Amino acid sequence: MKFKMKITQPGVYSFVLACGWSLVVALSLLVDMRGYKKEILAIATNVARAYIDKDMLFRDWNTMHGGVYVPVTPENPPNQDLPKSVPERDIKTPTGRVLTFINPAYMMRQVYELARKEKKISEHVTSLKPLRPENKPDTWDTRALIALEDGNQEVSEIVTEEGKRYLKLMRPLKVEKSCLLCHSQQGYKEGDIGGGITVTFPMELLEVSIWDEEQLLMSGHAFMWLLGLTGLYAGYRGLRQRTIERDKAEAELKQANAALENLATTDFLTGIYNRRKFEELLHTEVAEAKRLDIPLSLIFFDIDHFKKINDTLGHECGDTVLREIGLEVSKRLREIDIFARYGGEEFVILTYNDCRSARKLAEKIRTAIEHHSFAIGEKVTCSFGVTQFCHPDTIDEFVNRADFAMYEAKKSGRNLIVERS
């Protein structure tokens, strides 16, 4: 079974499509922008991880060599966190140069201080049990360290500080054998999580390009949106034209059907119902009268000596009489009354009245016709038969009884009303 959708309001249909298209483009833009921001976050995370990997590589290098010695300078004083009891913490070369021992922690501290001077990506080591006050964790560090001790291998989060966005990423710093030189008194054992390395990555380093990328995305989507709307408008114009043509064709078809219906149900001469339509309505009204138990009466009437009018004055005059009677009778009926030309000079009226009221209506019509000034200049009268529907009746019995009453009126002298029950 084929389904065809009939569009009656192309403007509304096109508006809904335009809203739908706008929503699709907006969602696409939103998804793309979110995807780009996720990509930026992924890049920042990878950079932070690379920094920590680099730090761990430096620490491993230092550890592999058992620490290194560098000259003592104002910028590189001896490591005060190492007890003086540590063998060969400070040594003097044969030439008199004083060297101090740099362990992994001291080396990374100096690297981090250099990085902070650049004021870009910064790193620091922190611990829940720091030796140095400078390594005391802040609120975020504390939460991250607790998460690491709970088994997490990495903790990261976007935070806002002083109106700027930063990615903070921390990885655990496990206690190695070389660490116990300073940290054994804190109760650490080799393999424990002694703290964490935190990288603070300014998101503005990458986000400066977001606006340019967002402008490109918005421009591209705006172009797609306008292109889609242009297509929808062109479709709307075509659809509107087809709808106008279809509506016009339907209106013409409806008019043609109405005209055909009128021809099929209306008497062409008088403009009232013809016999075919009357018999169709008669069945409906009889059934309704039975259902509602209300009186229904039938009036048959015939033009007296109509053949004489046609023979002496001509058929055009006869047609004029028929038209004038149709008009005179119609003026005296209610909207619910059914009036039809039954054939030739015979007319019929179906009215929701009892027989007594129907006879009064027939008398009113008879008198009006008798006193009407016809265009032919002759007096015209009619004979009437009236009957009321009785529930045992068939439709044929109902019609025949009114017809017989009319012929009885003709036999009794014409211009009379005969009532039969």
| CATH architecture for segment(s) 275-420 | 2-Layer Sandwich (3.30)
Please tell me whether the overall predicted TM-score, pTM, comes out greater than 0.75 for this model: no
Terminal C-alpha separation, the chain: 56
Catalytic residues: 345
Q: How far apart are CA 239 and CA 257, in angstroms?
A: 26
Hey, where are the domains in the chain? Answer: 20-67+103-210, 275-420
Write down the pLDDT at residue 8: 59
Q: How far apart are CA 40 and CA 46, in angstroms?
A: 10
User: CA-based Rg of the chain, rounded to a whole angstrom?
Assistant: 55
Q: How far apart are CA 112 and CA 75, in angstroms?
A: 14
Residues 386, 358 contacting (CB under 8 angstroms): yes
User: Whose structure tokens read 């279809």?
Assistant: 246
Pick the CATH number of 20-67+103-210 from 1.10.287, 2.30.30, 3.40.720, 3.30.450: 3.30.450
Q: How far apart are CA 216 and CA 72, in angstroms?
A: 55
Write down the pLDDT at residue 219: 78
Write down the pLDDT at residue 375: 94
Write down the pLDDT at residue 83: 64
Lookup: tokens for 385: 């038969």
**Helix/strand/coil for 86:** coil
Express each pLDDT in 298-347 by its tens digit. 999 999 999 999 999 999 999 999 999 999 999 999 999 999 999 999 99
Lookup: tokens for 85: 């009891």
Write down the pLDDT at residue 1: 44
User: Which one-letter DSSP state was computed for residue 185?
Assistant: G
Low-confidence ranges of the chain (pLDDT < 50): 1-3
149 CB-near residues (< 8 Å, 6+ apart):
128, 193
Do 20-67+103-210 and 275-420 show the same overall fold? no
Element (H, E) at 252: helix 210-265
Helix intervals (H) in 94-203? 104-118, 139-149, 180-183
